[in-house]
Amino acid sequence: MDLFTVFNLLRTNKNQLTFEHLTILFYIEKRSGEVTLKDISRDLTIPYTTAQKACEILDKGYSYRHMRTNAKKDRKGLEYIQRTLDPQDRRRALVTITKEGKNYVSSLTRITGLLK
């Protein structure tokens, strides 16, 4: 399997994850513990709001208003990560990878292992 095939599988995948989402997911999995949005933003050198929006998609999803119709829409999340409030500082959200997230990362790792 070549790299183009892997990218095409990711692009046409029903989850429609961007490389930014994948990078964040792999980062959280690699850290194998609780990380904060601030950690993700700092270590991956992306804006905090970008990390926050990506984590919303990787977690439970979010609601938004359609630009033309102003109708309320929901984007279902993937539940690959879980965000919880830090018990010591309720302003911070702790991010951990879920079992589904670990399975997804491991399936991608297996696919990319076929590139050798």
Structural domain that includes position 107 = 14-111
Residue 48 confidence (pLDDT): 94
Residue 67 resides in a domain = yes
Tens digits of per-residue pLDDT, 79-97? 999 999 888 888 888 999 9
Token code pair at residue 91: 């302003």
Tell me whether residue 26 is in a domain: yes
Residue 42 covered by a domain: yes
Where residue 1 falls among pLDDT bands split at 50, 70, 90?
Answer: low
Is 1 inside any structural domain? no
Neighbouring residues of 114: CB distance < 8 A, sequence distance ≥ 6: 1
Q: Provide the pLDDT for residue 112.
A: 67
More confident residue, 19 or 13: 19
104, with CB counted inside 10 A (0-12, 13-18, 19+), is buried
In a domain, residue 73? The reply is yes
CATH number at residue 84: 1.10.10.10
10 pLDDT above the threshold of 80: no
Please give the Cα distance from 28 to 96 (Å, whole number). 7
Residue 7 covered by a domain: no
Count: domains in the chain? 1
Residues 25-60 pLDDT 10s: 999 999 987 899 999 999 999 999 999 999 998 999
Each residue of 52-86: pLDDT tens digit?
999 998 999 877 778 888 888 887 888 999 999 88
Is 9 domain-assigned? Answer: no
Query: 116 lies in a domain?
Result: no
Q: What is the mean pLDDT of residues 107-112?
A: 76
pTM (predicted TM-score):
0.79
